């Protein structure tokens, strides 16, 4: 439809008036009940730190299942298996990895000379 035809449509004029009223009501309500933004959590997940601490205390290569069980004991709560696997995978990659893969599913802390 052409713009001239749309502007001369009487039904459109009524609907635009209703839409304008609704818009004004919503803006007024939002101004009265303004919400504060939620604060950003300080840490996203302590799983990587827990896994690192487990490997530091073990001071030997460990299988991923062993790391998971020890991390749960250290944390004092149940940890999601996929979160532990993700922490191990993320810690073993990158420019300065925290962990080193010794074998299939076996990890140890990266030595200082491995890190740099």
| Predicted pLDDT of residue 83 | 93
Sorted by sequence, the CB contacts under 8 Å of residue 70 that are 6+ apart come out as: 54, 57, 58, 62
Q: Give the strands of the sheet with 106-109, arranged side by side.
A: 62-63, 106-109, 99-103
Cβ atoms < 10 Å from Cβ of 50: 19
For CA atoms 71, 54, 108, 114, give the dihedral sign: positive
Q: What is the pLDDT of residues 53-73, one digit of tens each?
A: 999 999 899 999 999 999 999
Tokens standing for residue 107: 């990890």
Cβ atoms < 10 Å from Cβ of 85: 16
Q: What is the pLDDT of residues 22-35, one digit of tens each?
A: 999 888 888 787 78
For the chain, what are the domain ranges?
A: 3-32, 47-115
Longest dimension (CA), the chain: 81
Average pLDDT for 78-104:
90
What is the CATH code for 47-115? 1.10.10
């Amino acid at each position: 439809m052409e713009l001239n035809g749309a502007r001369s449509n009487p039904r459109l004029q009524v609907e635009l008036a209703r839409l304008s009223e609704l818009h004004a009501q919503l803006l007024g309500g939002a101004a009265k009940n303004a919400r504060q933004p939620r604060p950003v959590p300080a840490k996203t997940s302590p799983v990587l730190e827990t896994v690192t601490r487990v490997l530091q205390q073990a001071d030997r290569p460990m299988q991923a299942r062993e790391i998971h069980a020890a991390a749960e004991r250290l944390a004092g709560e149940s940890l999601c298996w996929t979160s532990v696997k993700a922490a191990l995978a993320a810690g073993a990659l990158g420019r300065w990895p925290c962990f080193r893969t010794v074998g299939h599913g076996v990890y140890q802390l990266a030595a200082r000379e491995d890190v740099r």
